[in-house]
Structure 1
Amino acid sequence: MSSMESLNTDTTEQQEQLVPKKNAVSVIWTHFGFSKDDIEQNEVRCRHCRKTVSTPKGNTTNLFQHLKHNHVTEYEQCMAQKKQKETDKRPATSASAKQMSITQVFTNATQYEKSSRRWKEITDAICYYIAKDMTPLAKVERSGFKHLVKTLDRRYTVPSQSHFSKTALPDMYKTCCKNVAAELKNVQHFAATSDLWSSRTMDPFLSLTLHYIDDDWKLRQRCLETAYFPADHTADMIAQGLKDMLSEWDLAEEKLSAITTDNEAEMSSYLVSPMLDSEANPLDWWRKHHVHFPTLSKVAKKYLCIPATSSPSERVFSSGGNIVTCLRSCLKPEKVNMLVFLSKNLE
């Protein structure tokens, strides 16, 4: 009887041999499997007691709990295997790695030499930030800024405000001036804008900005000067100041096509003045008002002298006809020129 029961048991185990889970990763699956008929592997069964265990959405928590409460020995073995597997995944800390960490700590503690390339790069970047964003120089000595730089690179020490004021910024200015001068060297034509400005301390400044079109047909502009200008703000003094600026940049006045200045107050006053009668002589008006419009009066003198027709030249020919008559047809050309000139120019 005992032999028969043993045989039946062996036969049942053979019939209930379970198939392992496909692509199993967790060690828990060594204790669970699926029936051969369960092709989609939906029903999980324990290899030890053949009970079905629910695993919603493939969660293995119920599997661990089943081992823990029903198969203690197997559960302890499974947890030991899991722990060993996690340990094997951790990178080994070798003596060389430890030595590298010590080297890195030593390196990080060493400050950059002021002659090193990295120190110059960071200093130039801070100088660019100060100049481009118009930041006060005092910011480089504030604790928040130093903390920011130290966080970004512990090996860099921020120079003093005096270094940026006396060394870094002047050097950057010289380099930028050379680049701009080289850029303007081959410019054939340029225009300019200029204006006077007073600071908060009422110090006067004269600015000069150049505008030109480069070889790629792009409109470019360069601010050349914002110079202290304590001289009298007369037209002649301003003109001389602009000439000196162009000379300092080695720019020929012949290449200057036009210059635009701010004359808003004078222009606004002129536009609100009473309209001149169409029959009146504009020269008479400018004779009375040129004192109030010193700049515009120069423009008036420049363009109001342009005749509308060529009648004056035709009158010269009429005078020439009166001089070279039939009785004086033998006059030499030099005499004709002299007589016409005197006829027209004698007051």
Structure 2
Amino acid sequence: MTGTPLLEVKDLQKVFTVGSMMNKKNVQAIRNISFTIYEGETLGLVGESGCGKSTTGRAAIRLIEPTSGTVKFMGQDITKVKEQQLRKIRRDMQMIFQDPYASLNPRMTIEKILMEPYKLQNLYSSQEREERVISLMQEVGLRPEYRRRYPHEFSGGQRQRIGIARALALNPKLIIADEPVSALDVSVQAQVLNLMMDLQDKYKLSYLFISHDLSVVKYICHRIGVMYLGEIVEMGGRDDLYNNPLHPYTQSLLSSIPTVDQDVRLERIILSGDVPSPAAPPSGCSFHPRCPSCMEICKTVKPETIQVGQQVVACHLYP
């Protein structure tokens, strides 16, 4: 996809220190992550649990501090700005969290939750804030008369709509959606996804959509990056990646998608072994202990990321 770059991430890394005082270890949660999100685009990040998807999203908007790398938002490197300046920039960057109940303060009414962004940014009068809360609730399909209720009085789908309303409050340009529908029933998932797509068209939003559900990602995303053990191993357009997966890991993920269509059913690729620990990653290609196409070079030499057609892939199968 081409257009105006909104978010440019280059060589992003995050290292966590774990363990006791006497036995500390550095765990590299993400390494050398690079991608660009364009205006009006949805970029998906997929992979198994623990591969670093959520860490990537949070580090990209500095909810956690990246260890190294650069993140440019609208051309400005936000990794170097101070907290006070970052607060202003965050008006244009918001996040939808995975668990809508845990991300909403149970002691605050929905009205107070949705007013909080305006108070933090010192925007509007009390009456204007109330009017905007009513407008936000209508925007996401909630009845304004429910605004004085508490989060526990809503269903899971309604709570996620409240989370979306809060993310929209400051009219952002970019929203990081971290597993926004994984806790919802399938029928409610469709409603929330359609809502997000309608809002994208209406407000020209860009999304970084993080999910482990390949069917959901195919439905909403324009481009998709596949992550394994803290790295992006393949990235491409939605149709290119689903019709012609290059990396063996991508092929195994796509083969696991359930389908009732016998004509398009892929042969199931079952991976051996478990995902290695990020505290002790394998040498060479991090996927080689589980790869059905492993070669000797894969065990010792880390593959470079190269362009193959319209996709990029890090694999020794494509010299």
How would you bin the TM-score normalised by the shorter chain? under 0.3
TM-score with structure 2 setting the length: 0.21
Give 1 or 2 for the bigger CA radius of gyration: 1
Q: Name the structure where helix makes up a greater proportion of residues.
A: 1
With a CA cutoff of 8 Å and minimum separation of 6, indicate the structure with the bigger relative contact order. Answer: 2
Q: TM-score, normalised by structure 1?
A: 0.20
